[in-house]
Amino acid sequence: MLFNSYEFIYGFLPIAVLLFFILSAGGRTMLAAGWLGLASLFFYGYWNPHYILLLVASIAVNYLMGRGILRLRDGHRSRDCRLLLVAAVAFNLGLLGYYKYANFFVDSLNMLAGTGFQLGKIVLPIGISFFTFTQIAYLVDAYQGKAREANPVHYLLFVSYFPHLIAGPILHHSEMMPQFADRRTYRFDVTNFSIGVLFLFIGLFKKVVLADGIQPFVGPVFDADPSYRLTFLEAWPGALAYTLQLYFDFSGYSDMAIGLSKMFNIDLPLNFNSPYKAYNIIEFWRRWHMTLSRFLRDYLYISLGGNRHGRLRRYANLMATMLLGGLWHGAGWNFVIWGGLHGLYLTCNHAWRNFRAKVLGHDLDRPTIAGRTAGVVLTFLAVVAAWVFFRAPSLPAAFNILQGMAGLHGVVLPEEWQATFATGGAALAGMPFGYLEAFGGARQVIWVAALLAIAWGLPNSQEFAGRLRTSVLPRLGPRAVQSGSWSALGALSVLISLLVMINGSRGVSEFIYFNF
Amino acid sequence: MRLVLRQAVLFCAGVAAMLVALEIALRLLPVSVGLYQGDRSDLWPLHNFQAHRPYTHSTTWELQYARHGQTNNYGQLAPFDYIPGSRPVIVVGDSYIESQMNDYRDTLQGYMGTMPGVTEPVYGLGVSGMSMSDYLAMAGQAAAEFAPRAAVFLVVDGDISESLLDQAGQYYLRETTDGLKLTLHPKSMHPLFTRIRQSVGDLYLYRYVTQNLRFSLPELTPLFRVAQAQRLATPIEKEAAAQYAVVDRFLDELPGRSGIEPQCIALLLDGDRYAIYDPRLASPRKDLPEARAYLIRKASELGYRLADMQPLFREDYKRHQRHFDYYPVDAHWNSLGHRLAAERAYELLFRQPGGHC
């Protein structure tokens, strides 16, 4: 079930919310939590009922293994405890490996060894990467004594909680379990509820208007036959369109998840913080898919040794982390290259920072405006180039786009601009005019410019909500806030309905990260 | 209780304020407005919309391809009135000929009217949603009103199969023991609903939702989906026989109803243009390919002038790589599609051996 569908907005969500607070009002908090868990399983099963069993089995096995790890740890049987952790992690990775990577490895083996093994079509259960990583983190924390969850209902809810189940944010038990146990969670709060609805609206707007609005300009470039040589003015706007589509699609989804959860008085961690405003690639990864970055840092990079064994080892760890991060997104060489590129960017960034601080003696904490601007532009361009691999359906398609961006296939101006530029600079420079199949014309230029302006110039969702909370609401007083919340709910419900209708007018529009 | 009432009032106030704000904002934008169904259903389809009204057309949520125009004395989209008994060339079709998305001069009838040697007026008689059964009705009404000299009929995918669908407000070919019979399913709506629809019809928000977003409440209901699925589940043999019968009925009756000899009737058959742009975009057709082939064969045998636009479009696309429609947003022909069709119709009616119609 998609957050932007009629059945979710007018069916699932109202029923889930209503019953949750009805059960909560009677003081039956465990029942309310159980209801939310069951509703989440229904939400998951609506996509494909067969995989409910897989999800439930994964939750049950991990819960029991987590309990086992805790018991062994409490009994000071550290060797057995470690063995059980290894087995539990292997179980999770095995599940993920089978569903997500089996065909990739077999295909790669066939390619390298010239064999002809076939596994058949394995359907990827939606959200498997997310619920697997969430549970691996829980197991590792149980092993380290940081997690002590005994309540199976809360554990079920922690993993299956519908706002995050399909595409994150990737949760950490320490930020969720206390909220599930807190009695205040089960009290309806109109201010929280309306803030949740506000986030839902912002996320829906990002998805339906911005991401899906620019989406028509992506396909003609990325899905073009590689034999069609994309020119400069086709490749760049196409790559920029995808860069913006992905950001608004995924951050829109995350905002919706945060908003939906807030309606139940549960705070989810933030996942985006204006990543395209980052002035270096290190900062980019602190702003993009923040919960995945946190997971990769805490459970992979640090486990590999982090920066504790010298500079070279640190760079190798970074590269390994990013390569695996790339592979996490999808079973394909495109994702490996994308991860590798980011590993390389991060390595260069760390080496450059080291060089500037130690050799040039620069103060890295006080960048100049020019330096910062150049950093933002350079970081953005590097990210755009890497996204080409992320989206392209094949390596030849990716290279075709990159060659076009580099101007290797020439610069041709669209013929419809000929009348405007015939006497202008382009004619003087001798630039040819022609039919550009993969260029959306002035509309595409306007879309890209507008979305870049939003990404670079406007505050993000949490900054907007933060300003509302710190600057506007305190001036109104509690009674006015309460009244305003009800009116805001009314106004937002109209806007949300309109956005859902706009979405419905275009057919099914899935979120990009559902593929991962 | 008072608290709940207060909260409900505040909520409704928010709803109302937002509805008003949206209505004001949409009034500044080119929302599809101004076209209202004519009052006399017995004169439909010749008298389509209310006469002499300005309208705006745009498509999709983004209000793309905005066009402004006016209905004429017959409620057809044309910048001039049609004159009874003027012996025109009539151009009949569905939304392609109605052509809300094009300026009049960029339509088939607009182009034809300016071609050398066409001294007769050219009248576009296009109504969105029509199929072959409606074309028969239109031909009869046009014959009585204008006594046309020649005609162009545009047949697009769905025109054959949809002739069998019993839809409120439209003509359809009903199966009887004597074969197919042209029947009008009158539109009947409770006066209260009509009044409500008329009053909300002036709201830009309502128009935006129903026209631009194509929102329809019944389509969301499971019952509608079941009915759709059942309709699609018709056995193919039965469908083929029925579609052949529609073709027979149409070709046999058309000269009599329109008062025009087959050699002065041009049938233009649209094709699957998206498949020309990219074979991966080929879509399943509503009309069986066999029925389409049968139409071509039988029309030629009966002496109709006929052009299959598919090879023509394919050839043109190979040469110029230009789309004939608003791909991928709207499959209706754009100016180029209409111009090519007009040139072909002109050749068929005015440049064939045997002379001018």
- HEC secondary structure over chain B: CHHHHHHHHHHHHHHHHHHHHHHHHHHCCCCCECCCECCCHHHCCCCCECCCCEEEEEECCCCEEEEEEEECCCCCECCCCCCCCCCCEEEEECHHHHCCCCCHHHCHHHHHCCCCCCCCCEEEEECCCCCHHHHHHHHHHHHHHHCCCEEEEEECCCCCHHHHCCCCCCEEEEEECCEEEEEECCCCCCHHHHHHHHHHCCCHHHHHHHHHCCCCHHHHCHHHHHHHHHHHCCCHHHHHHHHHHHHHHHHHHHHHHHCCCHHHEEEEECCCHHHHHCHHHCCCCCCCHHHHHHHHHHHHHCCCEEEEHHHHHHHHHHHHCCCCEECCCEEEECHHHHHHHHHHHHHHHHCCCCCCC
Q: How confident is the model at residue A112 (pLDDT cuts 50, 70, 90)?
A: confident
**B18–A495 C-beta distance less than 8 A:** yes
The pLDDT value recorded for residue A424 is 60
Share of chain B above pLDDT 70, in %: 93
Which tens digit of pLDDT belongs to each residue from A261-282?
A: 999 999 999 999 999 999 999 9
Which tens digit of pLDDT belongs to each residue from B53-69?
A: 999 999 999 999 999 99
The pLDDT value recorded for residue A272 is 95
Which tens digit of pLDDT belongs to each residue from B313-327?
A: 999 999 988 899 999
Establish whether A173 is a catalytic residue. no
Among A321-335, A431-445, B151-165, the range scoring the smallest mean pLDDT is: A431-445
What does the alpha-carbon distance between residue B183 and residue B166 come to, in Å, rounded to a whole number? 9
Residue A426 has pLDDT above 60, yes or no: no
Identify the DSSP state of A306: T
Distances, alpha carbon A431 to alpha carbons A401, A412, A423, A427, in Å: 20, 7, 12, 6
Q: Which of B14, B212, B321 sits opposite A491 (nearest CB)?
A: B14
Which tens digit of pLDDT belongs to each residue from A482-498?
A: 889 999 999 999 999 99
The pLDDT value recorded for residue A122 is 75
Q: Which of A213, A483, A494 sits opposite B15 (nearest CB)?
A: A494
pTM of the model: 0.87
- Which of B143, B132, B55, B49 is closest to B93 using CA atoms? B132
Which chain A residue has its CA at the smallest distance from B59's CA? A505
Q: How confident is the model at residue A313 (pLDDT cuts 50, 70, 90)?
A: very high
The pLDDT value recorded for residue A86 is 94
On chain A, the residues whose CB falls within 8 A of the CB of B320 are 435
> How far is the alpha carbon of B12 from chain A, nearest alpha carbon, in Å?
6
- Amino acid symbol at B267: L
Work out the mean pLDDT of chain B and round it to a whole number.
90
Which tens digit of pLDDT belongs to each residue from A175-215?
A: 999 999 999 999 999 989 999 999 999 999 999 999 999 99
Work out the mean pLDDT of chain A and round it to a whole number.
90
Which tens digit of pLDDT belongs to each residue from B210-229?
A: 999 999 877 776 666 666 66
Among A71-85, A127-141, A144-158, A425-439, the range scoring the smallest mean pLDDT is: A425-439
Q: Which residues pair with B70 in a beta bridge?
A: B54
**A493–B13 C-beta distance less than 8 A:** no
Which tens digit of pLDDT belongs to each residue from B264-286?
A: 999 999 999 999 998 888 888 89
Query: What's the average model confidence in pLDDT over A310-329?
Result: 92
The pLDDT value recorded for residue B240 is 86
The pLDDT value recorded for residue A414 is 86
Which tens digit of pLDDT belongs to each residue from A124-179?
A: 788 888 899 899 999 999 998 888 777 899 999 999 999 998 887 888 888 999 99
CB-based contact, B328 to chain A, within 8 Å: yes
The pLDDT value recorded for residue A104 is 81
Residues in chain B: 357
Which chain B residue has its CA at the smallest distance from A498's CA? B209
| Residue among A164, A173, A329, A350 flagged as catalytic | A329
The pLDDT value recorded for residue B305 is 94
C-alpha A20: how far from its chain's center? 27
Query: What's the average model confidence in pLDDT over B106-113?
Result: 96
Per CB distance under 8 Å, which residues of A are interface residues toward B? 6, 190, 213, 216, 435, 437, 483, 486-495, 498, 501-502, 504-506
Question: Which residues, 6+ apart, have CB-to-CB distance to B241 below 8 Å?
Answer: none
The pLDDT value recorded for residue A30 is 93
Which tens digit of pLDDT belongs to each residue from A328-385?
A: 888 889 999 999 999 999 999 999 999 988 888 888 888 889 989 999 999 999 999 9
